[in-house]
Amino acid sequence: MKNEQFEKDIEVVPAIFNSLTIVEANGEKFLKGELPIVDANRKVWAKYQIEIKGSDRYPYSFPKLFETADAFKHNADWHVYENDFSCCVDYPANAKIICKNGLHVSDYIKNYAIPYFANQTFRIREGYYRYGEYSHGVFGKIEYYQSKLKAKNPAELLEMFRFILLDYNPPRTAACPFCHNVKFRHCHRDVFRELQFAKDYLFQDRAHLIAFFHAFPDYKLI
């Protein structure tokens, strides 16, 4: 997708990642080339053919990353979106939080695209993801939110969503509504603030979780 800020930001990228070049097609400039995965001893483990294109909300969302040589399967199991075959580099709500102050494409490549391909390389060689991964679908959503919110049960998790969506922001000395005898600012305040940057995802995910917990009333959170 054509994005003026993206087209401006990519100008510095070939000087930093010299196997990437700027190309133009269909009136849109983007990055194309090879991304080597190199370890601390300069050993090259793999080389990926990639394209990085603008997204509609860049720099407040990740750009679109594509692997173009079929080095791995382009499906959800391999963390590739099946609607446009772009790489699923992080959980969408988390990607939005990461980009809340704007993320330059060169930082995206260094901090997100290269680790993504390093994980893919490990899985191609060893058969599994080294650093674990979130599950897919609703279980992935529950794991993701639970890793941040640490609710005691599904009802409490949904109640936390409601507080976040309402921009809950009590006085400094207020006790946490979810933790006994703990000041809110010492436990859930920071994660609530963080997730407030991704309220659109929370809103959608909350509906998904309500439907799931309704269908599986005995489901226990870990």
User: Minimum CB separation from Zn ion for residue 157, in Å?
Assistant: 13
**Of 66, 92, 97, whose CA–CA distance to 80 is shortest?**
66
User: Minimum CB separation from Zn ion for residue 201, in Å?
Assistant: 21
Identify residues 184-213 at the interface with Zn ion (CB under 5 A): 187-188
Q: What is the DSSP string of 174-212?
A: PBPSSSTT-BGGGTTHHHHHHHHTTHHHHHHHHHHHHHH
158 sits near Zn ion (criterion: CB under 5 A): no
Out of 179, 193, 199, 212, the residue judged to bind Zn ion by CB under 5 A: 179
Per CB under 5 A, which region of 72-80, 87-95, 166-174, 182-190 contacts Zn ion?
Answer: 182-190
Structure tokens at 41: 């001893």
72 sits near Zn ion (criterion: CB under 5 A): no
Residue 25: C-alpha distances to residues 3, 11, 29, 103, 147 (Å): 13, 16, 7, 24, 41
Structure tokens at 150: 């640490």
d(CA 151, CA 135): 19
175 sits near Zn ion (criterion: CB under 5 A): no
Per CB under 5 A, which region of 75-83, 125-133, 154-162, 175-183 contacts Zn ion?
Answer: 175-183
Of 57 and 186, nearer to Zn ion (C-beta) is: 186
178 sits near Zn ion (criterion: CB under 5 A): yes
Binding site for Zn ion (CB under 5 A): 176, 178-179, 187-188
